[in-house]
Chain A
């Protein structure tokens, strides 16, 4: 049984998402929320295995729901669903712990396929987001420790994805197993979160909000 949370303010889209989730998983238990408030309430009321979260909600950001869910059940797979795919917002969501994102205008069959992959723990990145992440690491300050910076292999993976290659093509190109590419991407997500938190802490310290220098 899969417990799925769908947070989406457009009613038709919410139904469409629930529909797909219902087909993608066996015996799913789907909870729908139409606002940030409802999403937060759902998160507080029970645990979820998977959540599809829209970022731009009428009463706030889906990021809040995402953070809360990650806090109460860290195992839940959080997928950001977006239509505009504003790169900056997606990178922010990935930094906040999202496990991936899907574009809501993707044809139904493709969307279902990608959703299943994400639910299986196979992350995906689109070329423009991969480029954005590379830029993020290029322009943020030096990481607190060297292991928080991207490894050369991870850079290679990002570079190929940025040129439009899928995970399988990247794996072929770099002569790796597809699962290795997936673990590289997960590692990139993790480091993105660390670097964003480090950056936030650095900013906070600079503005005197934090006692640690």
Chain B
């Protein structure tokens, strides 16, 4: 693929586009003032100046055509003065100015113009018309692509039509070779050049779109003039519409091109072209209104400037806003929609679908013809091949994307699109990070529930199932339910103090003891800021529960003291009752005491039960942190 044209900024110029456009407008306004002067001036001193409103259509129509064409061509040129295409386009604008202003003056002035001036005006008209054709052919030969054999075609174009025009004007050629015939032939050549461009760009949608748009604008404008006016005149017929109106066709060309600047990035120009235009036109308008006020109204320059400012502010700025809204690009998606889509992409759990959603969003935003994953390794969105491509970086598991031929091949990517893409990619990675944090949260919560379930409830239900003792069965099932409650209410959460973790056990124990008229002493010491691993607190709870059960069932005690304390990274607990005690010899192995010892030794601790005639004392201790509990 060949680059469309040279890069913007290839030839840095000290003069800014606004200044050049200002220069163009100065020339244009001077010529316009001159034309008005010639059209309005009285024939002699007996006559008075004409009112501008009394001027005929033959003045207004060519004048406005020339004015608009020159302005637009000059505008485009002033933005990219070094480019051959814009120079040719500017040349066509100058030609249009020539062949419109000249007849406008000739047909509307009441002055007795000197012979030479009349002849000059007539020549200006003819040369302008032919030069317009030559410039347009040349433009179609070099833009959007330089057609093969450009030199030959260029030489032929300028040589043949230039000489023919010269011949016609000097009346060397037969009368049939009038300027109308030459311009008609030029039109045919423009059509051929446009077809050449279309053929040449058939593999490149961007260039093809430009060729089509430019070709259509020229064909409708100039073609309209030829068909309605020039061709009938060649064949000695009457024009299809009054010749005066046919000038308007040429303005169509320039308006069409101006409208295509952003959409097709004609001449590599984008929306910034409009910004420059609005700015310069606004300034010119200010000066014009100012001058008009000074001339027409009996007010001083100061007041006039103020009034001009107000008028421009009230009329031009709102108008400019309306035009800007029409011409400057608006994204098809609202910010809300884009944001919603980004969130959808980030929250989609399936990677394949997420990739599809992300590419779909890019598709809707830029409407490229091609969207595909690529191995782009940058971290920022960048454009490539002069804006034909846009690369979006890879984001977490989403592959990098290459977008090609935006807006269905009718446009190019520019810096604003690059910025938009970069911002969206950034936004997506932020949301993605949030989603990953959320996923991690869900995973760790699920892990907590699974661990708590596995550690306690599964084991308890299993031992309940296999226990033949009805009482034990009930107790273990109750314990499972109580553990389940803890899991649901997240009572093992680390922000609870040990006292709070054990508060339910205390309340429950107190309740049970009260029912048996057993006095309970409950002492906690050194347990502030101690976090107990869930497994440890479950074990501690079930051990104490069972000890209390034993005391209630067997001890016939009136008092039970339970104290829990921490010392040097160990938790120690003591349960002492004042009951009748028991004889260790009568205890059969495999009973509850073994069970208690097992539970504590599983935590890496030990438990001793000391029965005496004064009651039973059970002491236990285990380390607060065991290696597998560090999680």
Task: Please report the C-alpha to C-alpha distance between residue A103 and residue B512 in the assembled complex, in whole angstroms.
Answer: 14
**Is B485 in contact with A163, judged by CB distance below 8 angstroms?**
no
**Is B478 in contact with A105, judged by CB distance below 8 angstroms?**
yes
Given the contacts A107-B478, A164-B507, A165-B506, A128 and B514 also touching, CB distance less than 8 Å: no
Chain A 120-145 interface mask (CB, 8 Å, partner B; 1/0): 00000011100100000000000000
Task: Please report the C-alpha to C-alpha distance between residue A176 and residue B505 in the assembled complex, in whole angstroms.
Answer: 24
Question: Does A148 touch B at the CB level, under 8 Å?
Answer: no
Chain B 477-491 interface mask (CB, 8 Å, partner A; 1/0): 110011011001101
Question: Does B29 touch A at the CB level, under 8 Å?
Answer: no
Count contacts between A and B, CB distance < 8 Å: 65
Task: Please report the C-alpha to C-alpha distance between residue A161 and residue B499 in the assembled complex, in whole angstroms.
Answer: 12
Task: Please report the C-alpha to C-alpha distance between residue A110 and residue B503 in the assembled complex, in whole angstroms.
Answer: 18
User: Which of the 9-residue segments A28-36, A73-81, A84-92 touches chain B?
Assistant: A84-92
User: Chain B nearest CB: distance from A155 CB in Å?
Assistant: 16
Question: Does A39 touch B at the CB level, under 8 Å?
Answer: no
Residues of chain A within 8 A of B478, CB atoms compared:
105-107
Task: Please report the C-alpha to C-alpha distance between residue A162 and residue B499 in the assembled complex, in whole angstroms.
Answer: 9
Question: Does B515 touch A at the CB level, under 8 Å?
Answer: yes
Question: Does A113 touch B at the CB level, under 8 Å?
Answer: yes
Name the CB-closest residue of B to A83. B481
**Is A84 in contact with B488, judged by CB distance below 8 angstroms?**
yes
Task: Please report the C-alpha to C-alpha distance between residue A1 and residue B505 in the assembled complex, in whole angstroms.
Answer: 36
**Is B522 in contact with A164, judged by CB distance below 8 angstroms?**
yes
Residues of chain A within 8 A of B522, CB atoms compared:
164
Residues of chain A within 8 A of B481, CB atoms compared:
83-84, 105
Chain B 508-535 interface mask (CB, 8 Å, partner A; 1/0): 0011101100000010000000000000
**Is A126 in contact with B500, judged by CB distance below 8 angstroms?**
no
Question: Does A12 touch B at the CB level, under 8 Å?
Answer: no
Question: Does A70 touch B at the CB level, under 8 Å?
Answer: no
Name the CB-closest residue of A to B485. A85
**Is A164 in contact with B489, judged by CB distance below 8 angstroms?**
no
Question: Does B502 touch A at the CB level, under 8 Å?
Answer: yes
Residues of chain B within 8 A of A147, CB atoms compared:
none
**Is B515 in contact with A126, judged by CB distance below 8 angstroms?**
no
**Is A110 in contact with B500, judged by CB distance below 8 angstroms?**
no
Task: Please report the C-alpha to C-alpha distance between residue A164 and residue B500 in the assembled complex, in whole angstroms.
Answer: 8
**Is A168 in contact with B489, judged by CB distance below 8 angstroms?**
no
**Is A162 in contact with B500, judged by CB distance below 8 angstroms?**
yes
Question: Does A37 touch B at the CB level, under 8 Å?
Answer: no
User: Chain A nearest CB: distance from B508 CB in Å?
Assistant: 9
Question: Does B370 touch A at the CB level, under 8 Å?
Answer: no
**Is B511 in contact with A165, judged by CB distance below 8 angstroms?**
no
Known: A128-B503, A163-B499, A164-B506. 17 other contacts (CB 8 A): A85-B485, A85-B488, A86-B485, A105-B478, A105-B481, A105-B482, A113-B511, A114-B511, A126-B504, A127-B506, A128-B504, A131-B500, A162-B503, A163-B500, A164-B507, A164-B522, A165-B510
List residues of chain A with CB under 8 Å of any chain B CB: 83-87, 103, 105-107, 109-110, 113-114, 126-128, 131, 161-166, 168-169
List residues of chain B with CB under 8 Å of any chain A CB: 474, 477-478, 481-482, 484-485, 488-489, 491, 499-500, 502-507, 510-512, 514-515, 522
Which 6 residue pairs spanning A and B have beta carbons closest together? Answer: A164-B506, A164-B503, A127-B503, A105-B481, A164-B507, A166-B510
Could you give 9 example pairs across A and B, Cβ below 8 Å?
A86-B489, A106-B478, A107-B474, A109-B515, A127-B506, A164-B522, A166-B507, A166-B514, A169-B510
